Amino acid sequence: MLDQIKIILCFTSHPGNIGAAARAMKTMGLSQLVLVSPKDFPSEEASARSSGALDILDNAIVVDSVEEAIKDCKLVIGTSSRSRALPWPLVEPREMVQIINEKPQARPVAILFGRESVGLLNEELQLCNYHVNIPANPEYMSLNLASAVQIISYELRLQFLNESPLKEEAFEQKDSETTATSEQVEGLYQHIEQTMMTTDFFDPENPKLLSARMRRLFAKSQLNQGEVNILRGFLASIEKYIKRKTS
């Protein structure tokens, strides 16, 4: 399970936090680190703070956007400590691990950590299937980035130690039943928006919360590849019908 978990640090300001996060990961057996547009990396400070987890840093993947970081992932979980205007499925770390364990078909899994100052932005959280909240002291919730990575990694480690080795070997499914990747679901979102604009259902100049609500709807559904193909085929048929009627 652990080799199917991607720890994604987004727009990290302090290289020391990257090194400390790599150390936290290695102590719990995690190895896949992805960095979204870090301010300073590679860095001697990151290497020093890693305390020997240099292999995690050396193999870290650096990308320019959150979308690129999660494009091959089937389950995306964003860390969040703030209440949002639009509610999203919210779980605690132990619940998050149970969800990951119960859905071996929904791997690889991305776990997103945001900026040190403000965390993940709303538009980044809307790319997630779940939000995970570490239940810290409400009077002082200032949790260091690497500490948050350590807590999440520890819960994943506990599940790994308890996981039956036969569970994944026994799991077989057709390709159409495989959980859709983030990139496939994002393609569906874009297709839906385009069709809604074509039919005048969606006004991009006055979007309100429609796009966010659509994302939340499908995030809760955990679409598989067959379902994405059906929905995109339906949207394509609408577009063809409109062209026939207007030609």
Confidence of residue 42 (pLDDT cuts 50, 70, 90): very high
Alpha-carbon span 125 to 78, nearest angstrom:
6
pLDDT of residue 183 exceeding 60:
yes
- From residue 23, alpha-carbon distances to 57, 111, 134, 159 in Å are 9, 17, 20, 19
Q: Fill in the amino acid letter for 233.
A: G
pLDDT digits (tens, 9 = 90+) for 49-95: 999 899 999 999 999 999 999 999 999 999 987 656 667 888 999 99
The torsion angles phi and psi of 33, rounded to 5 degrees, stand at -115, 130
Give the chain's domains with CATH numbers.
Answer: 2-169 (3.40.1280.10), 175-246 (1.10.8.590)
CB atoms within 10 A of CB 143: 15
Q: How many CA atoms lie within 13 A of 64 on its CB side?
A: 0
